Amino acid sequence: MADRAIHFDNVRFGYGDGDFMLRIAKLELGRGERAAVIGPSGSGKTTLLHLAAGIAVPEEGAVRTCGVEISGLDDAARRRFRIRRVGLVFQEFELLDHLSALDNVLLPYRLTRALRLDDAARARAESLLQRTGLGGKGSRRADRLSQGERQRVAVCRALVVEPEVLLADEPTGNLDTDNKGRILDLLLGCADEAGAALLVVTHDRDLLPRFERSFDVRELSG
């Protein structure tokens, strides 16, 4: 349906080298809905997020995100779409080591002309760093931050464009209990404020009650 934030229909995806195959008969996430994805290592959780973000393209079936059939866009259009409208916290963060924490948060604005780096964007980036406990570390190079700090920068970068769909791949994996709670509060709070849908991959079963629903990626094959 066009009004869904995320909609997978009879999707099949493999990497081409190896025998892994992800099948998703149906997956629907409403606007503003918050769901958690669980499943053992190697079951396809990261692949699922990459399909929703348009980083990976299905061999069969359709993926619609924010009502746009991204599986039908060419590479450049898909990349533009992802940077502008989807916030993705990568499992491996994907920060640029030589850039400061602040410049990493502002990276989406350097990747596409469709976004304008104005005072409001800078203020949002500063405020996100503040809210994640990194207020004093904006000018520090990413390679001089701890793992947990890098993870929080990755979360800020996903949020700075005020995405309609927020995808987070084990965003609390490297954090202590206090910071775990803070990051989850931030993700849920920002998704709420923006009316964004939120899909979070997690191994923390104690976080599951904070989501409206949770599912195992292996249940989706139909």
Looking at the Cβ atoms of 37 and 165, the one nearer to ligand ADP is 37
Using CB under 6 A as the binding criterion, the count of chain residues that bind ligand ADP stands at 12
Q: How far is CA 77 from CA 85, 168, 214, in A?
A: 12, 22, 31
Rounded to whole angstroms, how far apart are CA atoms 110 and 120?
15
| Contact letters for Mg ion, residues 82-121 (x by CB under 5 A) | ---------x------------------------------
Among 30, 32, 39, 173, binds ligand ADP (CB under 6 A): 39
**Residue 12 beta carbon to ligand ADP: minimum distance, rounded to whole angstroms:** 13
Rounded to whole angstroms, how far apart are CA atoms 123 and 11?
39
What does the DSSP assignment read for 112-175?
-TTS---HHHHHHHHHHHHHTT-GGGTTSBGGGS-HHHHHHHHHHHHHTT--SEEEEESTTTT-
Among 20, 72, 123, 212, binds ligand ADP (CB under 6 A): 20
Q: Which of the 8 DSSP states describes residue 75?
A: H
Looking at the Cβ atoms of 45 and 180, the one nearer to Mg ion is 45
Looking at the Cβ atoms of 55 and 106, the one nearer to ligand ADP is 55
Among 2, 3, 17, 74, binds ligand ADP (CB under 6 A): 17
Binding of ligand ADP at residue 47 (CB under 6 A)? Answer: yes
Binding of Mg ion at residue 132 (CB under 5 A)? Answer: no
Rounded to whole angstroms, how far apart are CA atoms 199 and 187?
10
Binding of ligand ADP at residue 135 (CB under 6 A)? Answer: no
Strands 4-14, 60-65: parallel, antiparallel or unpaired by DSSP?
antiparallel
Binding of Mg ion at residue 46 (CB under 5 A)? Answer: yes
**Residue 131 beta carbon to ligand ADP: minimum distance, rounded to whole angstroms:** 27
* Amino acid symbol at 100: S
Rounded to whole angstroms, how far apart are CA atoms 60 and 150?
35
Interface ranges with Mg ion (CB under 5 A): 45-46, 91
Interface ranges with ligand ADP (CB under 6 A): 15, 17-18, 20, 39, 41-47
